[in-house]
Amino acid sequence: RSTKRMARMAAWVLAILLASCAFALATFDKEFDVTWGDGRGKILNNGQLLTLGLDKISGSGFQSKHEYLFGKIDMQLKLVPGNSAGTVTAYYLSSQGPTHDEIDFEFLGNVTGEPYTLHTNVFTQGQGQREQQFRLWFDPTNDFHTYSILWNPKHIIFMVDDMPIRDYKNLEGKGIAFPKNQPMRLYSSLWNADDWATQGGRVKTDWSHAPFSASYRGFKADACVVTAGGRPRCGASVGTEVAPGTGAAGEWYNQELDLTRQQRMRWVQRNYMIYNYCTDPKRVAKGVPAECSM
């Protein structure tokens, strides 16, 4: 009898754990609004999947209902397959206005068989031009992969499948601006940029392959969410049924790369980085930004 009772107890605990896991990922209809595209952006599978479409008439896009002031944002993306030349899938945090802050992932398409370019950038007070570009070590069109932004008061860390690829550090003490005061929404869009996206604009979008489609799932934000009163509330993952807790931020708030993860990032940068604004000869000739020499 005691064995049966223990088995029932174990099953009950497992059911609670599974239910908690089910709540850990937000649904797109609760967390996002499709803001443009005239029906080309779709929320499917009971809010678990979002797709964006692009044809010759229009692309499409969505934005988060919430604004965040620091957080760890995860999204699984599967990019436009086949001949994606000329297309850009953008996934980024941004505030508004002429002195906006922004943290960018952009995926630049290519002709069939040629690799995507992963483009990253950081804007502070309306100033960008901090581009680093990478190839990926897998085909991002075959399956979903997780692209993450960790933004806390000391670091902006870009990650792919939990592999750090870039760490933009807070160097305010050296007079370099860092995004820390402006709340940002999460945005994504699929659009035509064939004037620059693929091989410098030499390869144009082949509309015979349209409509193009990118897919999203597995959104999660452990973040400080800006409330109606304008104050950030830090705590549980947004968009879940989990209780918000004590209002304290999670481990991400003070997280930085340990030695092992720094080494992994350097490995990615050595093997897969194809452009760095700090080493661009045209930029160097005009004087590199101050953070490049630190």
Domain ranges (residues) in the chain: 6-292
SS3 7: helix
- Identify the residue whose tokens are 């944002």: 73
Secondary structure letter of residue 45 according to DSSP: G
pLDDT, residue 18, reads 38
The pTM is what? Answer: 0.88
Supply the pLDDT for residue 21. Answer: 38
**DSSP reduced 3-state for 284:** helix
| CA–CA separation, 172 and 139 (whole Å) | 37
Q: Give kind and range of the element (H or E) at residue 214.
A: strand 212-226
Classify 109 as helix, strand or coil.
coil
Contact of 242 with 20, CB cutoff 8 Å? yes
Active site annotation includes 131: no
Q: Please tell me which residue in 31, 67, 102, 291 is annotated as part of the active site.
A: 102
**Which H or E run includes 23?**
helix 2-23
Q: Which fold has domain 6-292?
A: Jelly Rolls (2.60.120)
Per the residue annotation, which of 31, 67, 106, 291 is the catalytic one? 106
Q: Which pLDDT tens digit goes with each residue over 118-143?
A: 999 999 998 889 999 999 999 999 99
Q: Which residue has the tokens 């452009």?
A: 275
Q: What is the mean pLDDT of residues 149-177?
A: 97
Give the CA diameter of the chain: 80
67 is catalytic: no
Instruction: For 46-59, write each residue's pLDDT tens digit.
Output: 999 999 999 999 99
Whether the CB-CB separation of 58 and 40 falls below 8 Å is answered with yes
- Quick one: pLDDT band at residue 258, thresholds 50, 70, 90? very high
For residue 106, CA distances in Å to 87, 117, 124, 189 come to: 10, 8, 17, 9
